[in-house]
Amino acid sequence: MTIEGSISMKNKFLTIILVCLGISLSCAVYAQTSSVSYKRYTVRGVPADVISIDLKDPHIIVAPVVSERFPHAPEDFESMVSRVEPVAAINGNFFCKRTYKPVGDIVIDGKLIYFGGLGTAMGITEDNRVEFIKVERYRHMNWSRYKTVISCGPQLIENGKIVLDPKGEGFKDPNLFSRRNRSAVGVTWDRKLLFVTVNSGIYFEDLALIMKDLGCKDAMNLDGGGSSGLYYKGEMLMRPNTELPDILVVHEKEFAPNVLITLREKMAKDEKRVEILSSLAMIINKDQFMVKGLKDGKVYIIMKFDNPHLIEAPQIDAKIDAEANKVTIKIPFEKLKDIFKQSR
């Protein structure tokens, strides 16, 4: 059997199936509301595309993504977005037009993957706290506090006040000081991260005023001009006309209703095996779904609803890392496809 329609219909039917199968739920099934939104504003007479990300939501992940051949070659913005499938994305660092190497530091998952040594850095901690840090020019900074770092600049706003000093941060290219498309990132007083692009020729000073009027406590400039790019939930709001070495993306860790399913653990030689005590499976056009918080024989199964099919399926054995708190259970997609075919 298959189910298509609204989330509420899916949840209702899922509850019926689970009850019929005798599966005990320890929490309610719910539909997750997105903490990422988009709106076009007109600020000081200038249209601005603004993506708002609620950092108070623990499911939000903000991280840089680099080109496939980084740092040796750039990649098309749309290609990077297609490859990592974020909720939202914006262009990142300034870069050398000859080598395509960024001018600023990049940290991904707590690891420095590129040293640039210029500008202002936006650092994001494990619990999604955002800080803007002035980089000591060409000196290695200690980024150990941060899971994510992207350095660009100049800084536009600090503690609610405009603090523009591009030359003091090492930016001297005269093109940067002309009227051009602009991109920026900022954080509001209520912990909303803003991705902002302006598709019209404005100066640094104009961008700083726009970010302040949008409610930013702190903000910094990103690369602009032909590099400006913005993506939101399947729509390219602005396409760069050049390839890029890196972008900044947003993911939501949980994409779908969560079901707390009772599991029975059994040990194998070198691995822990978990047998799902239900005849429930999700076809998600992916070869994996995520497991979160293994404890006391219970685990959250996190699945993504793109084109969902809820079906009855035989018991599924899955491998997990005995030492990890958050794990990925990989189920052969062919196996699930066969189950789905049999259910139609």
The residue among 203, 190, 194 whose CA lies nearest residue 38 is: 194
pLDDT at 323 over 80: no
Do 170 and 40 lie in a common domain? yes
Does any domain span residue 69? yes
- Which one is predicted more confidently, 148 or 336? 148
Do 239 and 263 lie in a common domain? no
Report pTM.
0.68
State pLDDT tens for residues 104-138: 999 999 999 999 999 999 999 999 999 999 999 99
**pLDDT score, position 253:** 75
State pLDDT tens for residues 196-239: 999 999 999 999 999 999 999 999 999 999 999 999 999 999 99
Beta strands in 85-191, from DSSP E residues, in sequence order: 88-91, 106-108, 111-114, 120-124, 130-134, 148-152, 155-158, 161-162, 180-188
pLDDT at 335 over 80: no
- Which one is predicted more confidently, 287 or 184? 184
State pLDDT tens for residues 135-162: 999 999 999 999 999 999 999 999 999 9
Do 174 and 228 lie in a common domain? yes
**pLDDT score, position 338:** 52
Domain that holds residue 22: 7-32+254-343
Final residue of a structural domain among 221, 252, 283: 252
Measured distance CA(24)–CA(75) in Å, rounded: 48
* Structure tokens given for 244: 């890029």
Does any domain span residue 167? yes
Final residue of a structural domain among 222, 252, 282: 252
Domain count, the chain: 2
Distance (Å) of CA 308 to CA 48, 278, 289, 294, 304: 35, 18, 13, 25, 8
Measured distance CA(116)–CA(260) in Å, rounded: 45
- Which one is predicted more confidently, 44 or 309? 44
Least confident segment among 9-18, 108-117, 243-252: 9-18
